[in-house]
Amino acid sequence: MNIAVYCRDQYRVHDHLALQLSLEAIQKDSTSKVIFFTSVEENPVVDLETLTEPLQRGKWLCGPHRMRFQSQAIDSFQEKLNAFGIPLLVNRNSSFMESFMNLNHENKVNTLILADDAEVNADDLDRVKSLGVEVLLVHGNRLFNELPIEQNQLPKVFTDFKKKMTNLPDAPITMNCNPVTHSSQFKLEAEPEIDPKTAVPFQGNEEQALYRLHHYFINSDGLKNYRSTRNGMIGVDYSSKLSVFLALGSLSVKTAWAAIDAHEAVTGKNDGSEWMRSELLWREFFKWTAVRYGNSFYSPEGIQNKTKECKTDLKSFERWTLGKTNEPFVDANMRELRATGYMSNRGRQNVASYLVHELNLPWQWGARYFEWMLVDFDPTQNYGNWAYLAGVGCDPRSFGNQPPRFFNIKKQSNDYDPDGRYQKIWLID
């Protein structure tokens, strides 16, 4: 039996159900052959026209910052799979279907395991099944393997979703293999080409993911203080930065949730741990909302099917991407993003509001730029948050007659960078 496992953005061996199922198949039948495969995009350079074209779901732009993190995660995962005698085929700039058909041509596949189904559309799955291939879906990148509510009853706003999540998330699975462990002596050293001012001086591999989790949740007061520090903009520890590893799948979200349990077992529940749980549930909400609404989730009209007249001024868009809008708070954030591939949550909300509500440019242009530039790009989180702010997504305000959320940039600058320290860091040429 030949088993193919599509493992895009699932580059770890801890809490990896698709890997566990593969190892069990080999144990049952030593003649079974397992092949992991993934498809990755590499777009070191793009032009403005590309950023303003309609997105290609499943073929997301990947710029130089994320290319580096992605390569580190894949290399580490490939080495671990080799220890099990399992190959990993990396298909560059190929869609899922192209990658699968190439693999199936060389190895007649009997069973396809999807480590996460969010990035594979229904038409492609039907085509695979028409070839006589059994398809098994596992949700390796979510808290819940199955929601405790029917898909058509999924609330449109987060508050209602959170109220319905009364069940505990599924626990991380115990792997029948030697798990990767972090080392308290493991050093997070930036590579020479990384900007020394970066807030994410990490590599993308599983070892650093687990180190970072242990550091922030267990070995420091990071998690305990998270609610009060999460709107920071300077340094590494104002937030967990786990989004980088969750996006790559070098860290399991269930493992992160279990680490909160471990933290609370020692310190008790606190504002920081409760807020972090809420953030992980936000992530879950967008994951399942994207599954429910499919292409509408990513469309310009969003899940609300709303249209808005926008300008198509490429010069304004270019100035926004370069951090040359003459709005210092916006420019500082955009320059940090361009230099490092990262920006704080507070910064993201402000620069998005500025593009959508002050420049009146299409929200998808901004989402596409983030898609290309962010090291922690996750399709559902990126497009879910942009649509939310643009008033076509899951913001409860936009379901009524209230206007979309608007950020007063001057006030935000005074509130979150009152002494201008952050702006001085990034606006000095």
> Which amino acid appears at position 159 of this protein?
T
Helix/strand/coil for 114: strand
Task: Note the pLDDT of residue 170.
Answer: 82
Q: Please list, residue by residue across 362-394, b when 16 or more beta carbons sit within 10 angstroms of its beta carbon and e when fewer do.
A: bbbbbbbbbbbbbbbbbbbbbbbbbbbbbbbbb
Burial of 121 (0-12, 13-18, 19+ CB in 10 A): middle
Ordered domains of the chain (ranges, CATH): 2-140 (3.40.50.620), 206-293 (1.25.40.80), 296-427 (1.10.579.10)
Report the phi/psi class of residue 268: left, alpha or beta, with left for phi > 0 and alpha for psi in -120 to 50: left
Instruction: Tell which residue, 315, 400, 401, 293, has the closest CA to residue 359.
Output: 315
What's the DSSP call for residue 355? I
> Helix, strand, coil proportions of the chain in percent (round to 5)?
50, 5, 45
The answer to whether residues 254 and 171 touch, using CB atoms and an 8 Å cutoff, is: yes
CA distance 93 to 77: 19
- pLDDT (tens digit, 0 to 9) for every residue of the chain, 429 residues total? 899 999 999 999 999 999 999 999 999 998 999 999 999 999 999 999 999 998 878 789 999 999 999 999 999 999 999 999 999 999 998 889 999 999 999 999 999 999 876 568 888 999 999 999 999 988 888 999 888 888 889 999 999 999 988 888 888 887 665 544 433 333 333 444 678 899 999 999 999 999 999 999 999 999 999 999 999 999 999 999 999 999 999 999 999 999 999 999 999 999 999 999 999 999 999 999 998 998 899 999 999 999 989 999 999 999 999 999 999 999 999 999 999 999 999 999 999 999 999 999 999 999 999 999 999 999 999 999 999 999 999 998 888 777 788 999 999 999 999 999 999 999 986
Task: Note the pLDDT of residue 187.
Answer: 35
C-alpha dihedral (146, 125, 374, 260), degrees to nearest 10 = 20
CA distance 387 to 296: 11
Report the phi/psi class of residue 309: left, alpha or beta, with left for phi > 0 and alpha for psi in -120 to 50: beta
End-to-end CA distance of the chain: 59
The pTM of the full predicted model, rounded to 2 decimals, is 0.94
DSSP state string for 42-69: --S---HHHHHSPP-TTS----HHHHHH
